[in-house]
Amino acid sequence: MQLRKIKEQIYWLGAIDWDRRLFDSLIPLPDGTTYNAYLIKGSEKTVLLDTVDPPMTDELMAQLEGVDKIDFIVSHHAEQDHSGSIPRVLERFPKAKVVVTPKAKGMLIDLLKINENTFVTVEDGETMSLGDKTLKFIHTPWVHWPETMVTYLEEDRILFSCDFYGSHIASTDLFVIDQGRVYEAAKRYFAEIMMPFRNVITKNIEKLKEYDIRIIAPSHGQIYDQPAWIMDAYRDWVMGAPHNSVVLPFVSMHGNTRKLVDYLASGLVKHGIRVELFNLALTDIGKLAMALVDAATIVVGAPTVLAGPHPLAAYATLLANALRPKAQFLSIIGSYGWGGKTVETLAGMIPNLKVEVLAPVLCKGAPSEADFEALDKLAGAIAEKHKSNNFK
């Protein structure tokens, strides 16, 4: 893909990774991704904003062939999908300086062994003149690591946001065209890497309020030339109240836990609650993460195996604990054969979740009438909690 013009003096460079299906050996990327870099040719200085993932470096270097100088490389984020090609760019443009937050400098030295004399560190709010264009660096920690920052191009009112507001979609669209598709991908992206840092991201969103942002140019996915909707979506995901919904990740070995799950789901629906089921033996874990963005309650369906929770249920519980969703209630249901410590083990895996644990329902073998009655009570208790909290 060739270098593409966004506006006069401002270009997209980068790579479209159509084939990538997993990030960090953990996060599913069903639609691939892009690594976006940007070039700004000021009247005096030329700046490259971020680079690309190392396997795509040749593509970036080919795009830079006709560029006669780079004075600065702004590295918003030390993670290698954006910083990994900096050493190659420095080989080609040895006089370029790498502009980073103080924290990113140490991380890039550790990760890429870049010479420390190459760096220029910038404080929060510091500006840099390129002649007829001005960059303002805004520190925005935890979108996605502690060292992250964004850049606001004052004259053009463009926010170069790196991971912030990004989405994993491989596409030749330079700008967002299919808003529904990008909403889903951006929500998945938020759920998987941003959700744990909601409190800090709230501060970053507040900080950006004072800027007139006409375009958001992220480092993954397409550019937002109408950014209001994605900024509104982030406000809802980060600060909005939980929805009147229950997420039900489960696994079933011989069908008994499944009977509990289906019965509970049906009971919750009767109470007017939205339910999303995720069979952990089949599901895309990213879909589960997305559902966790809004849900008020999580119910884990876990059969007992080898005296503890089924490992897939334990994995989903650990993941929920790591993602720190805004859910306020949690319960556990499942079938066991003769005994075990499923509830105790799962309950011990969620220290990060600020949830009230509602009475679990465990049945011996196939569920009995008494077990179904207990599920009726659990559905009623969840409905009461949602109602009293006015979850919509």
Binding site for ligand FEO (CB under 6 A): 77, 79, 81-82, 144, 163, 219-220
Is the Cβ of residue 41 or residue 220 nearer to ligand FEO in the bound state? Answer: 220
Q: Residues 377, 380, 386, CA angle at the centre, nearest 5°? A: 145
Cβ neighbourhood burial of 79 (10 Å; 0-12, 13-18, 19+): buried
Q: Give the nearest distance from C-beta 270 to ligand FEO in angstroms.
A: 42
Is the Cβ of residue 101 or residue 328 nearer to ligand FEO in the bound state? Answer: 101
Is the Cβ of residue 176 or residue 361 nearer to ligand FEO in the bound state? Answer: 176
d(CA 283, CA 301): 14
Computed over its alpha carbons, how large is the radius of gyration of the chain?
24
Q: Give the nearest distance from C-beta 82 to ligand FEO in angstroms.
A: 6
Is the Cβ of residue 166 or residue 227 nearer to ligand FEO in the bound state? Answer: 166
Is the Cβ of residue 171 or residue 219 nearer to ligand FEO in the bound state? Answer: 219
Q: Give the nearest distance from C-beta 178 to ligand FEO in angstroms.
A: 21
Judged by DSSP in three states, 263 sits in helix
Is the Cβ of residue 77 or residue 258 nearer to ligand FEO in the bound state? Answer: 77
Sequence-separated (6 or more) residues with CB below 8 Å from residue 200: 141, 142
DSSP 94: T
Q: Tell me the CA end-to-end span of the chain in Å, nearest whole number.
A: 45
Distances (CA, A) of 48 to 35, 107, 151: 13, 19, 12
Number of H helices, E strands in the chain: 12, 22
Judged by DSSP in three states, 150 sits in strand
Is the Cβ of residue 59 or residue 163 nearer to ligand FEO in the bound state? Answer: 163
The residue to which tokens 């979740």 are assigned: 353
Q: Give the nearest distance from C-beta 32 to ligand FEO in angstroms.
A: 13
Structure tokens at 187: 């929500």
d(CA 239, CA 81): 28
Q: Give the nearest distance from C-beta 79 to ligand FEO in angstroms.
A: 4
Percent helix, strand, coil in the chain, to 5, is 35, 25, 40
Judged by DSSP in three states, 306 sits in coil
Cβ neighbourhood burial of 212 (10 Å; 0-12, 13-18, 19+): exposed
Q: Give the nearest distance from C-beta 45 to ligand FEO in angstroms.
A: 26
Is the Cβ of residue 17 or residue 79 nearer to ligand FEO in the bound state? Answer: 79
Residue 86 sits at φ, ψ, to 5 deg, of: -55, -45
Q: Give the nearest distance from C-beta 52 to ligand FEO in angstroms.
A: 10
Q: Give the nearest distance from C-beta 219 to ligand FEO in angstroms.
A: 6
Is the Cβ of residue 234 or residue 329 nearer to ligand FEO in the bound state? Answer: 234
Q: Give the nearest distance from C-beta 318 to ligand FEO in angstroms.
A: 21
Alpha helix positions (H), the chain: 57-63, 80-83, 86-92, 102-112, 179-189, 198-208, 228-239, 256-270, 285-292, 311-323, 342-347, 369-388
Q: Give the nearest distance from C-beta 78 to ligand FEO in angstroms.
A: 9
Is the Cβ of residue 29 or residue 305 nearer to ligand FEO in the bound state? Answer: 29
